[in-house]
Every structure is written in structure tokens, then in C-alpha cells.
Amino acid sequence: MKNVILTGFMGSGKSSVGRIVAKRLGYEFRDLDAVIMEEAGLSINDIFSRHGEEHFRAVESRAVERVAGSTALVVATGGGAVISTENRRLFRSSGIVINLMASMESILNRLRNDSSRPLLRGPDREEKISRLLSEREACYADADIRIDTTGKKVEDVAAEILTYLKGKL
């Protein structure tokens, strides 16, 4: 059984949607950031501030290898997990890759009270998001299907995914 891999920018709804999809499919749900935090015994903010982004990416890639070696998982990946070519190759070979998109306005809105994303700390959040989105566009486009979540309820996005997945797993 193939995995279902959800990619997308921070605030695109990967975890909320992923939990629903997993439940409906009878698959296990894995949140890559949660796996990393559990292993490190540190928050994502603390991993970045104590060890740096490079270290975080190395830990993230190890977590990607592990999920790619399992089956019947719905995986919510971290927004930057797609940057690595090798991670993307593992995602594609282990299952169906679904990219969740969202408008700038909805990303800003969904993350407005959030302080758990180290890459968005400080001023000029919109500028940071816009730069990361354009740097990563080709990596997010490397997917079987892209779904725009702007203005949609998580249940509706999950239903769209389940319809797409029919007969593919």
C-alpha cells in the first residue's frame, strides 16, 4: 500500500487535512515535525536556535527516509522538506504526493498568532513568505496533484483528496 504524502507551505493545512484523510483511509498519520521534535526532545524553534537549520534539515531527511520505508501512512511533511531533491525522490517513490497550496492572505491569516515557525520570526513576514514561496515553487510543483485550499474547509479539502485517491492506492 502506497503512502499519501502531503507537501506544502507552512499554514497550507497539511496536518489538519492529513489527520482526516488518514482516518477515512484507515491509515496511520505521521506529522514529520512531530516525529523530529519527539526524537530530539526539543521544539522546532529550539532545534533551529541551538543547532541551526542545516542540522534540522539533516534530521528531517532521516525522518523522510524512515517514513518512505513504511507503507499505508498519511504523512504531513514540513514546509521545507521538499527542498531536498533526495527527499522529493523518496516521497515520489513511496506513494502519492499531494501539494496543498494557499494564497498569501490565507497563509498570513492561518499563521497570525503562531510563533512556532523559526523561518517566519521577526518583521516583514509577508516578504519572508513571498521569498520562500518563489524559491520553493518548483519543489512544490513536483507532485501528483496540487490542490488550492484557499477559502476551503479542511473537511472539503480532505474529501477532494479522497476522491482523487480512489483506485490509486
Residue 52: CB minimum distance to ligand S3P, A: 12
Query: In this complex, which beta carbon is closest to ligand S3P, that of residue 154 or of residue 169?
Result: 154
Query: In this complex, which beta carbon is closest to ligand S3P, that of residue 33 or of residue 160?
Result: 33
Handedness of CA 163, 66, 102, 13 (dihedral sign): positive
C-alpha to C-alpha distance for 86 and 92, rounded to whole angstroms:
10
Residue 166: CB minimum distance to ligand S3P, A: 27
Helices and strands, number each (H, E), in the chain = 8, 5
Residue 144: CB minimum distance to ligand S3P, A: 19
Residue 144 to residues 5, 15, 157, 164: CA-CA distances in angstroms?
A: 10, 19, 16, 10
Query: In this complex, which beta carbon is closest to ligand S3P, that of residue 79 or of residue 95?
Result: 79
Query: In this complex, which beta carbon is closest to ligand S3P, that of residue 1 or of residue 53?
Result: 53
The residue type at 71: T
Residues near ligand S3P, by CB under 6 A = 10, 33, 44, 78-80, 117-119
Residue 22: CB minimum distance to ligand S3P, A: 16
Residue among 6, 7, 35, 26 at smallest CA distance from 18 = 6
C-alpha to C-alpha distance for 47 and 94, rounded to whole angstroms:
27
Residue 97: CB minimum distance to ligand S3P, A: 15
Query: In this complex, which beta carbon is closest to ligand S3P, that of residue 31 or of residue 160?
Result: 31
